[in-house]
Structure 1
Amino acid sequence: MNLFTDIRALVLDAIEALQSEGTLPGDLNTAPVTVEPPRDPLHGDMATNAAMVLAKPAKMKPRDIADALAAKIGADDRITSAEVAGPGFLNLRLAPSLWQGLPATILQQGTDFGRSPMGQGAKVNVEYVSANPTGPMHVGHTRGAVFGDALASLLDFAGYDVTREYYINDGGAQVDVLARSVYLRYLEAHGHEVEFPDGTYPGEYLVAVGERLKEKVGDAYVDQPEAVWLEEVRAYATEAMMDLIREDLALLGVKMDHFFSEKSLYGTGKIEAAIDSLKSKGLIYRGTLEPPKGKLPEDWEPREQTLFKSTEHGDDVDRPIMKSDGAWTYFAPDIAYHYDKVIRGYDQLIDVFGADHGGYVKRMKAAVSALSDGKTPLDIKLIQLVKLFKNGEPFKMSKRAGTFVTLRDVVEEVGPDVTRFVMLMRKNDAPLDFDFDKAIEQSKENPVFYVQYAHARICSVLRKADAAGVDVSDATLKAQDLSSLDHAAELGLMKKLGEWPRLVEIAAKGHEPHKVAIWLNELASDLHGLWNRGHDEPGLRFLQDDAQTSQRKIALARSVAVVISAGLGILGVTPMDEMR
């Protein structure tokens, strides 16, 4: 049930009626017509821009159209007033019975309330985290993991068929560095004194890996040249790191549907197939790139390369896909990976990248556009940096990791629920300050506490009512007539609940799960506000002397808890039944 969708349908019916009467021309595009909350709640419950967007194509004054629409719409029983404002906006007030009927609908549908058919089952691949398998996940990966996981859940809630995917970057030189680092820990396990050269990974997390390698192969690799052990140690170390990464993700409640190995692209013809697809479209050629803008690097020299004509698909410059020595550039396997996703039949691709990949966006979009003939959209979401603070100071680096704060450090400090919610309180492309003290503070300034406390308060009311012998089962609550709940604060809370289905669609369409977190905080604020008003106005309290009156008021509170639970479910956060 989406009241905004229902009222938009009413507006469209009114437009159609005016067209039938000849008041409006018949060939109007009504797609831009919207119904949304007015900027000022005092102006009404909803507002439509219909007259404004139809005026020019209809060759009429906006107010003339608005007046005609107001007459049609105002005749509907669901509308108590339709008022023209300004140059032609139409403000609508809905009958209170529409809002008062919402809690019963919510209790009937449960946490499925707000689910949308918008996605129509379209297949979406969300690729996120995709950290190099060279160590534990750091705090930057944490934000990307939380964002990607919440986005996938949001899209699922909005009717899409979602695949969560992790791209294992196990085909590059960094995996060789990992193997050499593990080999040093392996020698250390045999009692050798070792030093970690610059560029290797000195973190303590590799100590256990080296010891397990010793248990597996004994001294077979000791004092042996790299050619003897590199390939096998690389495979062993990569799998060990992926086990560690899976454990880290599990701490956050993140579970992938599919892991895709970059290494599987090499020697299998998959890179060649992707490049051949581009070549068949006339997009691969031999050429020399223009020198980079600005001061030239000392080692730069013009040289002929194999290039992808990415400028034909929106990129700034063409991109090399093969080096002058015949080796693939790092871009080539990424093209092949996305070609694999295209031929798997996804209707939409979403990549979640770190902020340092900003320069990669246009070339990757160009590749997918070329590979899919423009049929498969790719949205790339960049995740900005996270700054950690504790006791007013930057949070220190992890000794276990050696060089950075790990996901495990953060989760062990504040727990997965707080970690996830705080990471989602800002838009993905905005920097985020994560203050450990504020994250666990029990006050309205802490959004995760504020939302969970709202849910816990409602659960407390239910327990007290049950202890008093009041039937507060959902079956009983949804049968209540809430027409007596007509106080502005009660109606305001119902109106906020009515926004939820619309909010889901807006957040899903924009790939913005942070909007769910922010909206939940607003809903919690309205619940707490009604609760606090009950201190001065006893008639607003959820528990009353009369059982039936209590049931009616608790039906409203319970519906808020259901929607909070649904929203937290999208964010991957557990609703709290009581605060300790």
Structure 2
Amino acid sequence: MNLFTDIRELVLDCLAAMAGAGELPAGLETANVTVEPPRDAAHGDMATNAAMVLAKPAGLKPREIAEALASRLAGDPRVASAEVAGPGFLNLRLVPGAWQKVVGAVLSDGRDFGRARLGAGIKVNVEFVSANPTGPMHVGHTRGAVVGDALAALLDFAGYDVTREYYINDGGAQVDVLARSAFERYREAHGLSPEIAEGLYPGDYLIPVGEALKAEFGERYLNAPEGEWLPVFRERSTEAMMAMIRADLDALGVRMDVYSSEKALYGTGKIEAAIDRLRGMGLIYEGVLEPPKGKTPEDWEPREQTLFRSTAHGDDVDRPVKKSDGAWTYFAPDIAYHDDKVQRGFDVLIDILGADHGGYVKRMKAAVAALSDGRVPLDVKLIQLVKLYKNGEPFKMSKRAGTFVTLRDVVDEVGADVTRFVMLTRKNDAPLDFDFDKVLEQSRDNPVWYVQYAHARVASVLRKAGEAGVDTSDAALAGADLSRLDHPAEIALIRKLADWPRQVEIAARAHEPHRVAGYLTELAADLHGHWNKGNDEPSLRFVQDDPATMGAKIALARATGVVISAGLAILGVTPVDEMR
């Protein structure tokens, strides 16, 4: 049940009737007609912009349309009043029964309440994390992992067919650096002093890799030339790093559907095929780029390269796909990888990338637009930095990682649930401060605790009701006399529950899972506010002496808990029944 969608359909039906009666021209486009909560709750329960949207194409004054529409809307039994405001906005008030039915719908649907059919039949690929397999994931990867996983869950809840994918960047020079770093730990495992030269990875996490290499190969490669051991050590160390990354993701509650390898693109003809496809479109040519901004003729050497005409699809400059020495640029396998996703039949591609990839966005969108003939949109979500604090000071680096704070450092400190929720309290492109002390404190300033406390309060109400002999099963509560929920405070809480399906659709369309965390924080505030009102006004308390009245009020509490639980599930957070 989506009450806002239901009332919008009522508005559209009334507009169609007006067109049939000659009050409006036939064939008006109504896609931009909305039904939303008004900015000021005092103006009503819902507001529609129908008259403002249709006035110009209809050749009528907005207020004239609004008054005719209000007359028809007022005839629906769910509508208590329809009032024209200003130049033509239309504010609606619904009868209490329309809201009370929402509680029954929540209890009937359970955590499926709010599920949408928005993405029916649409295949979405969400690629996220995709950290280089050269060491443990850092806190920036943590935020990207949480955003990507929650976005995938949100889209699934909205009806999309979602695939979570990790792109292993195992084809670049950084993997050779990893292999050389592992070789030094291999030497160390044999009792030799490792020579961790500048540019190698110094973290202790490679010590077990060196020991494993010793166990497998003994002294075989100790004095062998690099050409012999590099390919083997590259493969073994990459496998070890990916095993560690998978374990870290598992600790965060993130599980991928697909792992794709960059290395697997080389030597298979996939890169060549993607570039040739672009060449056939006239988008690949040999040319010389202009010097980058800030370069002077003295420090810029023009050279002919193989270029992708990305400016034909919205980029600022054309981009090299092959270097002057004939080697592919890093952009070429990325083109092939995204071409592979297009060929796999995805309708929408979403990439979750670090903020340092800002210059990558336009060129990749251009490539996908060209390869899919504009059919497949690519949405790139850039993840801004996370600043960590503890005891009022910046949180120090991990010795194990060598240079940064790891995902495991964060999860071990506060737990996966807290980590995930906090990472979603801000939009992905906004910087985030993560204070280890504040995210664990029990106060309304800590949104994790505040939302979990709301769910725990609902659980305590259900326990007390059960002890009083009330059947607290969802089926029994759905059959309660919900007409007893007629206090303005109760209707206000139900209005927030009714907004959940609308918020799901808004967040899914915008690819913004942080909206779910924001909604849950607001819902928790409403629940706590309602609870506090009950301290002064006993009739608002959930537990009552009259069984019929208590059944309805317990139903409201339970419905609130169900929606909180559903929202937390999207965020990947486990709701709690007791606060400790």
Say yes or no: TM over 0.5.
yes
Paired position in structure 1 for 2:142: 142
Q: 1:298: how far off?
A: 5.1
1:188 counterpart SS class: helix
Give the stretch that moved more between structures: 548-557 or 161-170: 548-557
1:41 aligns with 2:41: yes
Deviation digits for residues 31-89 of structure 1 (CA, Å, limit 9, x no counterpart): 11111010000000000000001111111111111111111111111100000011110
Paired position in structure 2 for 1:178: 178
Paired position in structure 1 for 2:20: 20
The percent identity for this pair of structures is 73
1:101 counterpart SS class: helix
Give the stretch that moved more between structures: 560-569 or 546-555: 546-555
Paired position in structure 1 for 2:233: 233
How many residues align? The count is 580
Q: 1:548: how far off?
A: 2.3
Measured in 1, the distance between the counterparts of 2:249 and 2:194 equals 31
1:231-310 map, 5 Å: 231-296=231-296, 299-310=299-310
Measured in 1, the distance between the counterparts of 2:270 and 2:183 equals 31
Q: 1:121: how far off?
A: 2.4
Measured in 2, the distance between the counterparts of 1:479 and 1:560 equals 16
Task: Name the TM-score, length of structure 1 as normaliser.
Answer: 0.99
Paired position in structure 2 for 1:119: 119
Paired position in structure 2 for 1:452: 452
Measured in 1, the distance between the counterparts of 2:29 and 2:306 equals 47
1:7-406 map, 5 Å: 7-296=7-296, 299-406=299-406
1:481-500 map, 5 Å: 481-500=481-500
2:437 counterpart SS class: helix
1:483 counterpart SS class: helix
Paired position in structure 2 for 1:557: 557
Task: Assess if the C-alpha contact under 8 Å between 2:441 and 2:449 holds in 1.
Answer: yes
Measured in 1, the distance between the counterparts of 2:547 and 2:2 equals 31
Q: Which runs of 5+ in 1 are unaligned?
A: none
Measured in 1, the distance between the counterparts of 2:5 and 2:533 equals 32
Q: 1:297: how far off?
A: 7.8
Q: Which runs of 5+ in 2 are unaligned?
A: none
Relative distance call for 1:298 and 1:551 in structure 2 (3 A) is farther
Paired position in structure 2 for 1:424: 424
Deviation digits for residues 240-289 of structure 1 (CA, Å, limit 9, x no counterpart): 00000001000110000000000000011010010011011111111111
Measured in 1, the distance between the counterparts of 2:37 and 2:255 equals 36
Measured in 2, the distance between the counterparts of 1:391 and 1:488 equals 44
Give the stretch that moved more between structures: 141-150 or 101-110: 101-110
Measured in 2, the distance between the counterparts of 1:548 and 1:389 equals 51
Q: 1:299: how far off?
A: 4.0
Measured in 2, the distance between the counterparts of 1:294 and 1:228 equals 43
1:275 counterpart SS class: helix
Paired position in structure 2 for 1:477: 477
Measured in 2, the distance between the counterparts of 1:80 and 1:411 equals 51
Task: Name the TM-score, length of structure 2 as normaliser.
Answer: 0.99
RMSD: 0.8
Deviation digits for residues 286-326 of structure 1 (CA, Å, limit 9, x no counterpart): 11111112233854211111111111111111111001111
Relative distance call for 1:357 and 1:435 in structure 2 (3 A) is same
1:33 counterpart SS class: coil
Q: 1:455: how far off?
A: 0.5
2:84 counterpart SS class: strand
* 1:239 alignment partner AA: E
Measured in 1, the distance between the counterparts of 2:313 and 2:356 equals 22
Q: 1:467: how far off?
A: 1.7
Measured in 2, the distance between the counterparts of 1:545 and 1:74 equals 38
* 1:67 alignment partner AA: E
Give the stretch that moved more between structures: 260-269 or 96-105: 96-105
Q: 1:357: how far off?
A: 0.1
Deviation digits for residues 436-459 of structure 1 (CA, Å, limit 9, x no counterpart): 111001111100111111111111
2:482 counterpart SS class: coil
Measured in 1, the distance between the counterparts of 2:462 and 2:91 equals 38
Deviation digits for residues 215-259 of structure 1 (CA, Å, limit 9, x no counterpart): 111111112110110000000000000000001000110000000
Relative distance call for 1:297 and 1:102 in structure 2 (3 A) is farther
Relative distance call for 1:298 and 1:186 in structure 2 (3 A) is farther
Q: 1:482: how far off?
A: 1.1
Task: Assess if the C-alpha contact under 8 Å between 2:481 and 2:548 holds in 1.
Answer: no
Measured in 1, the distance between the counterparts of 2:33 and 2:100 equals 27
Measured in 2, the distance between the counterparts of 1:145 and 1:232 equals 30
Relative distance call for 1:81 and 1:297 in structure 2 (3 A) is farther
